Amino acid sequence: MKNILVSGASSGLGKYLKNKFSATKYLRKKKDLTYLKKEWDLIIICGFYTGSLKSGYDESYSHVKKLISLKCKKIIFISSIGINFLKYQNKFKHFKNKKQLKMYALSKYKCEKLSLKKNKTLVLRLSNIVGPKKFMRKSDLKNFVYHKNPKIKYTETSKFSLTDFEEVAEFIEIAEKKKLFRNS
């Protein structure tokens, strides 16, 4: 893979993958026509809005739509097991901001469906992701992993399933070699 474009490369998994694969960072606000002219070997869509404003999710959807319209051989959409909230809402009673979680899950789901309209697309629904401290965004999970005496804000029923950044990178390399993309 030579020409790789990564969205959401300012922090977290996107930043890690950008560095790991020596990829190009997709800039949301830049009106750069080189994105349109270039044929990408792979586009990895990591970035996503997680706030409480519907406009933020609409913007994420429009960027996914823009990204999948670019000339590319393959697409990976990084999704979330948070989508399960749509099916199992009754198990999330302890969540304080269910509306925000529902908006996040719905918009991720819509973007998955949009991405899958393109051939050679792979959707990865990840659990909580962890990686080197310099790449992780500020969060309770980062505090839990890297702080000497973390204050944990989880309930007795909280469960953890962690995916390491490197595991994601390795899976992308395997998927490329074994042609695991939809309609490859």
| Domain 4-178: assigned CATH number | 3.40.50.720
pLDDT at 149 over 70: yes
User: What value does the mean pLDDT take over residues 25-43?
Assistant: 82
Nearest to 1 by CA among 176, 130, 118, 184: 176
Q: Which residue type occupies 65?
A: K
pLDDT tens for residues 83-99? 776 676 666 566 666 66
Residue-level pLDDT at 40: 95
Residue-level pLDDT at 10: 87
The encoded tokens of residue 10 equal 């300012």
Instruction: Tell me the backbone φ, ψ of residue 164, rounded to 5 degrees.
Output: -85, 145
pLDDT tens for residues 50-70? 677 778 888 889 999 999 999
Mean pLDDT of the chain: 80
With contact defined as beta carbons under 8 Å apart, do 58 and 102 qualify? no
Better pLDDT: 152 or 118: 118
Domain boundaries along the sequence of the chain: 4-178
pLDDT at 108 over 90: no
The DSSP symbol for 151 reads P
For 16-25, 27-36, 103-112, 161-170, which range has the lowest pLDDT when averaged over its residues? Answer: 27-36
Cα-Cα end-to-end distance for the chain: 15
